[in-house]
Structure 1
Amino acid sequence: MTALTVTAASATTVSADWLVVGVTEGAEGPVPALGTDPAGALGSGLARLLAGLGATGAEGEAIKLPAPHGIRAELLLAVGLGPAGDGTAHDAETLRRAAGVAARTLAGAATAALALPAATAGAVEATALGVLLGAYAFTPYRTTAEAQPLRAATILVEPGTQDRAEAALRRARTLGEEVNRARDLINTPANDLYPDSFATAVAAAARSHGATVDVSDEAALAASGFGGLLGVGQGSVRPPRLVRLAHRHADATTTLAFVGKGITYDSGGISLKPVGANEIMKRDMSGAAAVCAAVLAARRLDLPVNVTGWLALAENMPSGSALRPGDVLRMYGGRTVEVLNTDAEGRLVLADALVRASEERPDALVDVATLTAATRFGLGDHVYAVMGDDGLREQVLAAAREAGEDAWPMPLPPQLRAGLRSRVADLSNYGARMGGGLVAGLFLREFVPAGVPWAHLDIAGPAFNEGPPHGYTPEGGTGCAVRTLVRLAENTATGSGGGRSALLPASREGEGR
């Protein structure tokens, strides 16, 4: 991972192979937005040079050029920040994306100094996190030489702010490492990452950071009646696992429970996915990866809140022993579910884990899953959906905004609940096609006890980037929702965004429960 430091040196005197400067879109051409150029000499000359090269300052733009006279660095990279706006400071997400573009563009370079406008601790953290996420590369399976990530980066800060900047840097390192841990898990192919190996990796990481971990194997799951996990996993030669990962703090007064869908490969089971839909199905454990990383980040940041993660791990495969459409499962807690579609498997493993997590009476319960194509169709590949109890849903949306992740509130219309009626069981796992993402949310809500605030994050779109990299987002696994969950834990610990009162349950009239 790229080594990060801060310095109060100026943009003209800092020692580095590359100097990175931000450029905004001005009314009359590109305008350099420098963090430390007290004399303004660099900015005035650079604006003319960039204009001559055709630069605009648009977001995502990256232009390499020899450093102008008077700059100690040999080379210069100008990265676009987008419109100049009203002259106020650039927001954190703009800085994260620009720093990510710089880190990706400078893959293979030794050192870079970032003279982005990072005048506050929050701006320093955003810049640092953008570098760490933008420099990410997944290379364990490459046999040919690849350009190594940017080796070291220095962020230029205002004189006298180094202590605050160092603290911001420490948080960025932790968050960047954990988001990248989630990305590594998502990108690992299913022949190497399956329920048992996933659980083993999580247990090793938990022990290294002092978190507690407990892994239930197929025998323990059978003894306790986890019919959803066992049913989904029965078609695979690799049996399911349930992992409980926990951070405890002596001063904590609130407990959050995070539940992650961990389908390490989803073929659709007997309801087999069509051709062209299977190639990225190793990503169907992105929710569990996010939960793992968020709990470990909470532990490493020593947040004064208790956080428990539940990873429901299974492989959904077709075989002679696989779950069949029409089969009835007895879920953990005793309710029965008729399985009408074996490709609606994520909600089955989540249901078991939600009931188990609720037994510990957390103050709030959040599940994360690449659950439905319907949500992806509705919100695209950059925005995830949030459903659930009003208070907690708003807390999650606020945390997402603060963390720089795009989320959107979605309803749980009670009239869609009728579609989950089963002829033979308590309910079925599949209902109306129209509004399928909302139907999945309604199914999950059936397994959350009254009195436990709950939110559901469907990250089917942004969890895996099938297109080219952009900003700090790489190809493949993105680590979506990790930053939101960590921010939610921080806000809960400090009481910001409404405090603990916002975690109280909202009305659940008309649920049919």
Structure 2
Amino acid sequence: MGARTPLTFSTDDPAGAEVEALVIGAVKRDGALVLLDGHGLPDDTASALAGSLATLGAEGGADELTRMTGVDGVAAPLVLVVGVSGSGPAPRTEQLRRAAGVAARALAGRGSAVFALGQQGREQAMAVAEGAVLGAYSYVDQHGIGKADSAKAPLGSVTVAGLSGEEGTAAVAEVSALVSGVAYARDLVNTPPNLLYPESFADDVVARAQEAGVEVEVWEPERLVEEGCGGIIGVGQGSARGPRLVMLRYAPAGASRHLALVGKGITFDSGGLCLKPGASMVTMKMDMGGAAACAAATLAVAELGLPVQVTAYLCLAENMTGDLAQRPGDVVTMRGGRTVEIINTDAEGRLVMADGLALASEQQPDAIVDVATLTGACIIALGERTIGVMGNDDALRDSLVDLGTQAGDTAWALPLPEEIRPTLDSPVADLKHTGERSAGAMVAATFLKEFVGHQDGEETQIPWAHLDIAGPAFNEKAAWGYYPKGGTGAGVRSLVALARSYAD
């Protein structure tokens, strides 16, 4: 499990705080480097520090750090100046999150720090807190003897300037629930696949759900067969470790709206008989990032006590090449009775998700959102940091783009052109699960759309949106902002933000 850094808020003078480091922000305005307000430094100290930064060539850009020691008028032995990209008197909350994360990572091994990045209200203070705690995240569970001892511990504690009293206490609870959810999703994604497989994933979620007071139910392979979940069974039958379906139900009294979440949980993806190249398998422990996000978001919503019902369906399987592995040309019967011709066993995620979407539809929720590391095509289209959002309801899709981006999950809407559906026609089944090679992300989403049910007594489908997190779910490159190398927890904050909007 990744380490969790304790958080507090304070309105005490940041410059006088007895901590190991004071973190302040800087930006470049009109060609000059300017310290952001709220740092608590005496005027002469601030002026001298700004001059020293300019001499050192600091520009206040994103991810820029300058360390200053022995600064007059500051109790902390270290002053860490972090660039906050952008301009204007109040940087966007995401810029503050990223700057705080950069600083927190740089302070690994230190016991305490105060963050005073010019936050000018509750929303900005909470953004700094969120970025700092997420930036301090570290996953070290599987380091061997010696490596774990030599690794720097994450920053010991974070104090954020700007809030106090009941407002500060409430802000700590809110930020802690959110970052704990993101960290849990990161933990799951980072866990090696020999330790995290459908059964162990399910067991871990059961334990977490029971602690959180969330109802949980697990369907094992026999039950999946009885319930007609041919997609999950088909993908999982090539592994010695059988598939699972985990259902989480959070139903607080007074909830008037119901949100269903469906998560792709392929704990390892070999590609099945259509085997992936070896290099492409190295990161395939992350192919359960969608299920991790849905589980973590549901638990976070419960911890926040939001008055909205949330039901999550975690579709868990390991895509392997065992004796019973499904073949191209097989036809499987999905939940609800539709048949699907298998074309490429490496397009397995949409099969498990189809069963989950059909199950979710049976409950007639107000909306369904699925989250999946679904297509490499989405990475080609949008890069490694942006979530692709598609759906059958423009309002829901656009809301998720806006809410997710504001929350830190950068997102972009993609269409579902009508000409894609005919490419899924099959001569031997109701449909095949792949279509033309081009527009792969939209082809996959079009397949998923086929399994979204209709509103009772109406021809209209239940509002549904699909989040393709194939790019941002796992960071193979260097850490940046508050994102570590490895699992990122992509999608968690988008789902919590959507649930909050329903509660409001």
Deviation at 1:38, TM superposition (A): 7.3
Identify which of 411, 415, 430 aligns with 2:415: 411
Distance 1:78 1:256 in 2: 42
390-399 or 359-368, which moves further after superposition? 390-399
Deviations 1:196-215 (A, max 9, x none): 00000000000001000000
Correspondence list, 1:236-315, <5 A: 236-315=239-318
Distance 1:476 1:404 in 2: 17
Does structure 1 residue 217 correspond to structure 2 residue 220? yes
Partner of 1:510: none
Partner of 1:156: 161
Deviations 1:232-272 (A, max 9, x none): 00100000000000111111100000000000000110111
Identify which of 465, 468, 473 aligns with 2:483: 473
Deviation at 1:28, TM superposition (A): 3.6
1:96/1:129 contact within 8 Å kept: yes
Identify which of 61, 64, 88 aligns with 1:86: 88
Partner of 2:188: 185
2:94/2:406 contact within 8 Å kept: no
Does structure 1 residue 401 correspond to structure 2 residue 405? yes
Correspondence list, 1:382-461, <5 A: 382-388=385-391, 389-451=393-455, 452-461=462-471
Deviation at 1:157, TM superposition (A): 1.4
Distance 1:218 1:253 in 2: 34
1:12/1:42 contact within 8 Å kept: no
Deviation at 1:26, TM superposition (A): 2.9
Deviation at 1:461, TM superposition (A): 0.5
Partner of 1:486: 496
The one-letter code matched in structure 2 to 1:447 is F
2:22/2:114 contact within 8 Å kept: yes
2:240/2:322 contact within 8 Å kept: no
Partner of 1:108: 109
Partner of 1:4: 7
Partner of 1:507: none
SS in 1 for 2:15: coil
Partner of 1:97: 98
Partner of 1:509: none
- Structure 1 64/478 Cα, relative in aligned 2: closer, same or farther at 3 Å? same
283-292 or 390-399, which moves further after superposition? 390-399
Deviation at 1:492, TM superposition (A): 0.8
Does structure 1 residue 139 correspond to structure 2 residue 145? no
SS in 2 for 1:12: helix
Distance 2:166 2:92 in 1: 21
SS in 2 for 1:276: helix
SS in 1 for 2:466: strand
471-480 or 35-44, which moves further after superposition? 35-44
Partner of 2:58: 55
Deviation at 1:11, TM superposition (A): 2.7
Deviation at 1:64, TM superposition (A): 1.2
1:182/1:290 contact within 8 Å kept: yes
Partner of 1:33: 36
Partner of 1:502: none
Structure 2 unpaired stretches of 5+: 456-461
Partner of 2:459: none
Structure 1 unpaired stretches of 5+: 495-513
Deviation at 1:36, TM superposition (A): 4.3
Distance 1:455 1:476 in 2: 26
1:212/1:245 contact within 8 Å kept: yes
Does structure 1 residue 353 correspond to structure 2 residue 353? no
Distance 2:113 2:500 in 1: 31
Distance 1:62 1:315 in 2: 42
2:42/2:73 contact within 8 Å kept: no
Deviation at 1:392, TM superposition (A): 1.1
Partner of 1:322: 325
Q: Taking every aligned residue pair, what percent have the same amino acid on both sides? A: 48
1:125/1:165 contact within 8 Å kept: no
Distance 1:72 1:441 in 2: 55
Distance 2:178 2:469 in 1: 19
Partner of 2:340: 337
The one-letter code matched in structure 2 to 1:359 is E
Deviations 1:346-402 (A, max 9, x none): 000000011011111101000000001111111000101111121211221121122
The one-letter code matched in structure 2 to 1:412 is L
1:36/1:157 contact within 8 Å kept: no
Distance 2:75 2:41 in 1: 15
Number of positions where the alignment pairs a residue of Structure 1 with one of Structure 2: 490
Distance 1:202 1:7 in 2: 34
Distance 1:449 1:220 in 2: 22
Cα RMSD (Å) of the superposition? 1.2
SS in 2 for 1:60: coil
